Amino acid sequence: MTHAKGYGVAHAYNAPLGTETYVFQDDGLIPNNTLPLIVRRGAVPPSASDPAKAFEATFRKNGWTNSWRNGIFDYHHYHPDSHEVLGIAAGSATVRFGGENGETVAVTAGDVVVIPAGVGHALIGSGDTLLVVGAYPEGRDHGILRDDPHAIAGARKRIALVPLPDADPVDGADGPLMKLWPGAQ
């Protein structure tokens, strides 16, 4: 795992404060991606009466649809057919990204995580109040694969075909994803 360029790099795009980026290598079980995973701290303030509503509206406005409300699977998995955004609407969690040897990241209400296709993720721990909103660019079908050495070759081919999104799920065409993922519209 390496940290991608973020805030404070001279003569380069500086992501907003509170933005973290991670790049994970293929480990033979989880393909991961050369695009950085993006964590945005406090990106969307949860609604008081319905914490998920603000995330759903923000993601939908920016073309990330096919949303759901739930938690995060507690086993390593990845999506070979789509990128994914996770909005932490309530509670907090510890999530391992990048597979068994990846990076453990704590997330809390208001945080948004943009996960490139192929990047592994698994819930390590959470409180009882965890509520997550997930969505996909243009509502793409995403498929779910686990860390299976027999599936990874086909998954790599599928991941290579996933188009870049047209917009950042929080800030649209001007959001940091558009600068941090080379070639994004």
pLDDT by 10s per residue, the chain, length 185: 455 444 445 445 556 778 999 999 999 999 999 999 999 999 999 989 999 999 999 999 999 999 999 999 999 999 999 999 999 999 999 999 999 999 999 999 999 999 999 999 999 999 889 999 999 999 999 899 999 999 999 999 999 999 999 999 999 999 999 999 987 75
Q: What is the pTM of this model?
A: 0.92
Side-by-side strand order, sheet with 33-40: 19-24, 33-40, 112-115, 84-90, 131-137, 64-70
CATH number of the domain to which 124 belongs: 2.60.120.10
Sign of CA dihedral 88, 123, 19, 38: negative
Which residues are paired to 86 by β-bridges? 113, 134
In a domain, 63, yes or no: yes
In a domain, 14, yes or no: no
Rounded Cα distance, 101 and 98, in Å:
7
In a domain, 12, yes or no: no
